[in-house]
Amino acid sequence: MPAEAFLFDTIAAVGAKYRAGTLSPVAVTQACLDRIAACDGALNAFILVLGDAAMADAETAAAELAEGHNRGPLHGIPVAIKDLIDMAGLPSTFASRAEPGYVAGKDAALVANLRRAGAIIIGKTNLLEFAYGFVHPDFGQSNNPWNPARTTGGSSGGSAAAVGAGMCYAAVGTDTGGSIRIPASYCGLAGLKPTYGLIDTTGVFPLSWSLDHAGPLARTAADATAMLAGLTGHAIDGAAVDLAGLRFGVIAAHRDHPEITAPVRTAFEDTCRALVNAGATVEDITIPGLDRVTVEHLAVMMPEASLVHGQRVKTHGDGFADTTRQLIEQGFPILATDHVRGQRYRVALGASVDSVFTEVDAILSPSVPFTAPAEDPPISDEDGEMLAITWANMTGHPAISIPCCLAGDGLPMGFQITTPRGADGLALALAGAVETLRPLPPPPMNRRTGE
């Protein structure tokens, strides 16, 4: 059965049709629900589908728009929420059996902002257990719209699958060590880890307080900009930029790392050449101490995650997947001195990156060294998947992954852009400019339902 073409329109295009009276939020929401019914058996993106509530919200949005009440770009747009984010009166499973019967008393701050923006929340999406690196067998892996035999990546994989397959227009993910940008890279999406603290994470279940971010996954940088405005409750300046004269720095240690596969390196270099052809300057840069980032990231994240789950392991330890419980237990013996060293490293690394931004406008790197594997690799201090990702969690700088090319296996590859803290609009604008230089075809599941 062919998918409705408007399911793959941009948010702005759907909004224009709403306001012209040629399309209704009711029809769009019903089409998203039909798409979920048709595709989610293969992709496993959703834990909870809010069909009745979404249709009621769509009716409200349609009535408001008909009366000239315009809440902004997200008004009447179906979006999804990762299932560790509170929605009043609804359960969160965290893709685990270790927190049975949890029901949120009120909306998370970002959910309240999305509601005020008129977004229609169509469901809650699958994730790695408590966003911590492993799939719980009762919930299963989310699968990739480009090839359902491959993973979407974690931990926000359900959000990526939902957007990539046209089941909604955007979704919320969380990112503590790449958990928005890795799925974005694997699924050919725009995924932004904003500046640390830009999005209020009250009501988002923590993994590591020092490193947690929430942010948007969308099909384009412009859609991610609209979603970021909805999540924060204020306008984001993502206006188009002229690439001519801009200065880009390439993290040579990431581009040349032995774990970077040949297709990813080629796609990255081709994209950098396209920037040069557009009038930009691209040069290699060095960030002192960057080779320690994975070890220090784990020194910060693991003990904080173990503190979050310490009592839960004692009372509901059997509810965790074995691998998740073991990872939590590995965090308990980490010394306080190691954690403090990691925190001091965060400050020093942030200062080093800030100094680089006195010489360049943005920093470039491949998002992930390879295309989507069959399943998520385990977390380790030599984790190639997070090679170029975790440093922005440590420093808090905004970083966005966008697709730049397809590999020979037909899967997308990601290109990461990082900008100064607070310059989220610039990151999104640059991402939009790169999208025009390196357009990507739609994934096979975006062409015909069920294929």
Active-site residue list: 82, 155, 179
Cβ distance 360 to 268 under 8 Å? Answer: no
Alpha helices in 259-376 (DSSP H): 262-277, 293-316, 322-331, 336-356
Report the distance separating Cα 218 and Cα 89, nearest Å. 27
Residue 5, CA distances (Å) to 15, 271, 339, 356, 439 in order: 15, 29, 50, 44, 19
Lookup: tokens for 109: 């701050």
Cis peptide leading into residue 355 (ω within 30°):
no
Q: 216: which strand partners?
A: 172
Among the listed residues 98, 95, 100, the one whose alpha carbon sits nearest the alpha carbon of residue 308: 98
| Nearest alpha-carbon partner for 325 in 341, 307, 313 | 313
Phi and psi dihedrals of 379, rounded to 5? -75, 135
Report how far residue 190's alpha carbon sits from residue 400's, in angstroms, rounded to the nearest whole number. 7
Largest CA distance in the chain: 62
Task: Count other C-beta atoms under 10 Å from residue 14's C-beta.
Answer: 22
What percent helix, strand, coil does the chain show, rounded to 5?
Answer: 45, 15, 40
Question: What is the SS3 assignment for 34?
Answer: helix
- E-strand ranges in 34-164 read 46-49, 78-82, 120-125, 143-144, 147-151
By the 10 Å C-beta count (0-12 exposed, 13-18 middle, 19+ buried), 233 is classed as: middle
As given in the structure block, the two tokens for residue 286 are: 């060095």
